[in-house]
């Protein structure tokens, strides 16, 4: 994706998350100078399989696995310090230099123990199906102007006042929930004072870091978490996360202007999954749904929760292409479909007798939506070792061509397994080939 005209690239999920963004960021980071995570929290789990070892990264950008690549956590992230340092220590124990290559925005808000307590006791969190890691309550405090930022650790007196406000609010909520659990100011401050020296060593003005890198011609990769249909504004509200997961959130969450972004790569699975509650129009139920889940090992990297699986939904991904301004697609896990005798693509929803080809924001309409499918012959051939588009079975290329046509965004990468090397770069001469047009 990087060339003389394309130096700043955003990677977003174009479904409901778990699309394989970590692998794509890892692959692209080999050509990057700086990788920045711009939103979300420790509820994200980006899995990178190096073959000899596998890493699940919850807050640190996936580029950390490439020596010499600088990484940063932007102001749009809500940071869980305990998880961050556990992650750093695990990487360091594996021989990866982290602390000399990682910057944390001093404007990033902290996920504190009372946020996790509230999340765990909230009936609303249970109804939505959150990870209960305190992400939502931390973003709520941020918007309500009672959040604690990394830079607040420099000022003990002001920090104590902020924590007191946060604890009072959290305890009022716990009383409202009927919980007998309570947070305390003393325990919260003790935890913050214990991590402050180490965290402040990492703290920088990340927006300035990114601005200078772009000004100097560096290749900058902006890494999102979750997926576009979980965006708090553009997703299936209220079954969404608490941040802007779409590409517009990249500029805000990294501290740069939107004109600094040159391209947006949308990552999609060759089918559809989501975790937790909320609409999934193409959901596969029963034994076949279980089969696809097992073929794709569809369990959450962070929580272990089983993912709901469905056929590829072109209505969803075309919508994601529009709201993100996608420059291209990366299709992952095509190999999961290798053994199926036929595969389907959803091209529209029938709601009360009317066919819709654009994604509706109305959950009541989605609840009544009946997917309209196009069916394609399966290829029933292993694709895991294919490295050129032209070497894919013609049925697989026909399937990809129809996705490209319906989504109205060109396919740039095709991933055929979990390992770093199991990928086709369509634009690269060694990975080139032609898709077979579909009727």
> Is-catalytic flag, 46?
yes
Structure tokens at 144: 């309500």
Can you list the alpha helix ranges (DSSP code H) found in 178-247? Answer: 185-202, 206-215
DSSP state of 162: H
Please check whether residue 117 is in contact with residue 174, taking contact to mean a CB–CB distance below 8 angstroms: yes
Query: What three-state secondary structure class fits 122?
Result: coil
- Please state, as a whole number, how many other Cβ atoms lie within 10 Å of the Cβ of residue 296: 20
Q: Does the annotation mark 18 as catalytic?
A: yes
CA dihedral 6, 11, 14, 19 (to 10 degrees): 130
What are the respective helix, strand and coil percentages of the chain, to the nearest 5? Answer: 40, 20, 40
Cα–Cα distance measured from residue 52 to residue 421, given in angstroms and rounded to the nearest whole number: 12
Of the residues 33, 46, 115, 169, which is catalytic? Answer: 46
Cβ count within 10 A of residue 191:
15
Which two tokens mark 284? Answer: 């596969």
Residue 142 phi, psi (nearest 5)? -60, -50
Please pick, among 18, 80, 141, 335, the residue that the annotation labels catalytic.
18
Which runs of E-coded beta strand occur in 130-278?
A: 203-204, 220-223, 263-269, 272-274
Taking a C-beta distance cutoff of 8 angstroms, is the pair 129, 275 a contact? yes
Give me the active site residues, please: 18, 46
């Amino acid at each position: 994706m990087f060339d003389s005209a394309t130096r700043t690239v955003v990677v977003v999920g174009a479904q409901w998350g778990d699309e394989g963004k970590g692998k794509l960021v890892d692959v692209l980071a080999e050509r990057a100078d700086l990788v920045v995570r711009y939103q979300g929290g420790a509820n994200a789990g980006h899995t990178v399989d190096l073959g000899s070892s596998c890493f699940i990264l919850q807050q640190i950008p996936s580029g950390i696995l490439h020596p010499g690549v600088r990484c940063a956590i932007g102001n749009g992230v809500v940071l869980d310090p305990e998880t961050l340092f556990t992650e750093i220590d695990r990487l360091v124990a594996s021989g990866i230099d982290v602390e000399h290559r990682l910057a944390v925005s001093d404007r990033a808000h902290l996920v504190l123990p009372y946020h996790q307590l509230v999340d765990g006791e909230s009936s609303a969190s249970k109804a939505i199906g959150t990870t209960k890691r305190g992400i939502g309550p931390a973003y709520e405090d941020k918007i309500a102007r009672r959040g604690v930022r990394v830079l607040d650790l420099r000022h003990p007196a002001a920090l104590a006042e902020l924590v007191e406000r946060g604890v009072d609010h959290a305890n009022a909520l716990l009383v409202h929930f009927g919980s007998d659990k309570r947070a305390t100011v003393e325990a919260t401050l003790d935890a913050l004072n214990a991590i402050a020296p180490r965290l402040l060593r990492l703290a920088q003005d990340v927006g300035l870091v990114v601005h200078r890198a772009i000004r100097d011609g560096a290749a900058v990769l902006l890494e999102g978490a979750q997926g576009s249909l979980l965006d708090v504004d553009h997703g299936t509200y209220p079954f969404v996360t608490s941040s802007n997961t779409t590409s517009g959130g990249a500029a805000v969450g990294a501290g740069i202007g939107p004109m600094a972004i040159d391209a947006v790569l949308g990552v999609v699975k060759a089918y559809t999954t989501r975790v937790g509650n909320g609409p999934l129009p193409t959901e596969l139920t029963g034994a076949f749904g279980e089969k696809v889940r097992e073929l794709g090992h569809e369990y959450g990297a962070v929580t272990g929760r089983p993912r709901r699986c469905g056929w590829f939904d072109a209505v969803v991904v075309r919508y994601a292409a529009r709201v993100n301004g996608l420059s291209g697609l990366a299709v992952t896990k095509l190999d999961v479909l290798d053994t199926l005798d036929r595969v389907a693509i959803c091209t529209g929803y029938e709601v009360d007798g009317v066919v819709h080809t654009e994604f509706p924001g109305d959950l009541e309409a989605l609840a009544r939506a009946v997917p309209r499918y196009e069916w394609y012959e399966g290829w029933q051939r292993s694709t895991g070792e294919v490295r050129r588009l032209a070497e894919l079975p013609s049925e697989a290329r026909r399937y990809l061509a129809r996705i490209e046509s319906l989504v109205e965004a060109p396919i740039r990468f095709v991933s055929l397994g979990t390992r770093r090397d199991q990928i086709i770069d369509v634009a690269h001469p060694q990975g080139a080939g032609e898709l077979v047009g579909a009727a």
